[in-house]
Structure 1
Amino acid sequence: MASTSRRALRLLSLLGSRRLWPLRELATALEVGERTVRRDIETLRQLGYPITTVHGPDGGYRLGAGHTLPPLVFDHDQALAVAVALQTAPGTVFGLEDDAARALITLEQAMPAALRESMKSLRLTALRDYWQFPAPPVDPSVLTAVGAAVRDRRVIVTETLRADGTRPGIGDADFLPARRIEPHHLVVWAGRWYLVAHDPGNHRWGVHRVDRLRTRPTTHRFGPRRLPHDDLAHFVMSSHDRGDALATWECAGSARLGLPAGVVARWAPGGSVVEHLDAEHCRLTLGAWSWAGIAGILATFDTELTDLQPPELARACARLAHRLTVAADTAGRP
């Protein structure tokens, strides 16, 4: 009986994880025969769960609308996954840490004893990785508004704020007038929220930092469009003008690189700024804990570096070059 109950809960969890399950796939996932799956489905139906049979070659079973899943549908692995996810969730949204902690407590209280103990066994402390170059968290209301516009395919009116969150004025170098865009996808990368959107005014696709957007909804809808690149991740990561701002570091400098802006934008650390110069050159501005740190990051780009700014960065590059020359000369010596 206990084995049957665990299998039924596992079946309910599978049905809730996706829209449609063919019978054969359910049997494979549960490691039982198809007849056993049918019997378990009838058991769940008798318990009040609206499981619908979809006929035809592409048919199967799905959980009907209007159901309420109890927390008990979590299996052991899912309970551990939830515990880890809630404790390691990145702080990319204001207030997320407190909300995640409260959600973990709520879930634990609703779990049966065995699963509750498994979740409590994974108490951990998530330490900040300074190589992640974190960005300021996003306002939940902004994220919700943008997400709803993406879901409903509604045009939004946006203004791009300065890196410090203030509104630029006419004449500012970073001034961008309010414009209407079609929001298509939300993307999280390097601890930053980005919006992939189409601007019908200039017929261009763009990538926008959500934390630098001030948005206003409209009632106008838009239809689906073909994305500018088959790989959405590649498009976001290789867009140099995605609204990134320089992170706060002890040292900050820049250099002219003999590489296209899109290539450098793909591999530059979060919290850096890439400026397009021409088809084969760009300027990379970045920060680090020391001038040698900036020089080391610049050295990872296999290309010539010119116009180093400020002079402290140029001197750090010279010192790094000397150290590498000495290391190369002494390599292989007894």
Structure 2
Amino acid sequence: MDTTERVLTLLGLLQQRRVWTGPELAERLGVTPRTVRRDVDRLRTLGYPVNAGQGVGGGYQLGPGQALPPLLLDDEEAIATAVSLLAGVGGEAGLRALSKLDQVLPARLRQSVKALSGSVSSFGRERSFGDPAELMTLARACRDQVLVDFTYSSGPRRVEPYRLVASDKRWYLFAYDLDRDDWRTFRVDRMSEVAARTWRFQPRPAPDAATYVQEGVTSRVYKYQGRFLVHAPASVVRAAVPPSAAIVHDRDDGKSEVVTGADNLDFILMHVVLLGHEFEVLGPPELSARCHLVATRMLAATGFVPPAGEIDPAR
């Protein structure tokens, strides 16, 4: 290695481990301890605070400080960092960190990160953390359009991966299940032994990934799906309802339509009542009937007797 390459390699080694002895660094770099000392002095001149300790347990250590320039990352580390930011941090802090990383990445890596980011969708306000290595494997498979095998809670799966979708709670893979011949949503935290294959697939017409996953998470997987007209703007309702619990649609009249699901009709009603706004049940019929019955019981619990025929307890 020439001097510049060797100094950069030294910097990378100091970033990988807390303390290195002089002989260890000399062996890794293929130079003498004296050359290591000169290279350390070069790093200090560039603004890197490298501390040197004597005796047992001593060695070279990269210290903290405002003069410390950006971390030195190889290709795999840079892409993994970018995917981790896409996958884990979310919010303004994640966007700022990702933009700073983009400024220092070589052009070839910026293209890779851009392609991987195109494999990620979201319908939550914040992105939950996930296993960066696993998420990167899935994101690359979506980008490269190659089949993925994995073990799920219900058994082995073989799919065409299309998008990684992040909610406010967890990560999902939107994919076409080849064994079931249909679109499926998979929770990434329930996947194991994830492996991308070399067999490429021809993308088929697909629904919007984020919308499909959100509909599945909030309503489609449940026994009952409820639709409500809530007398409050969608922005107000969204602030009170997690995106993984319900879909909130805008209405032109200052109201909003809420779609949610549960295996129990009372659970659906309870969550809408707790929003604190007037609402109307749009469907299904059994939900309207249940709301009528619950309202009758609530009125009876207060001792209020409605006028005859106003509320039919039989319903």
TM-score (norm 2): 0.37
Larger radius of gyration: 2
TM-score (norm 1): 0.35
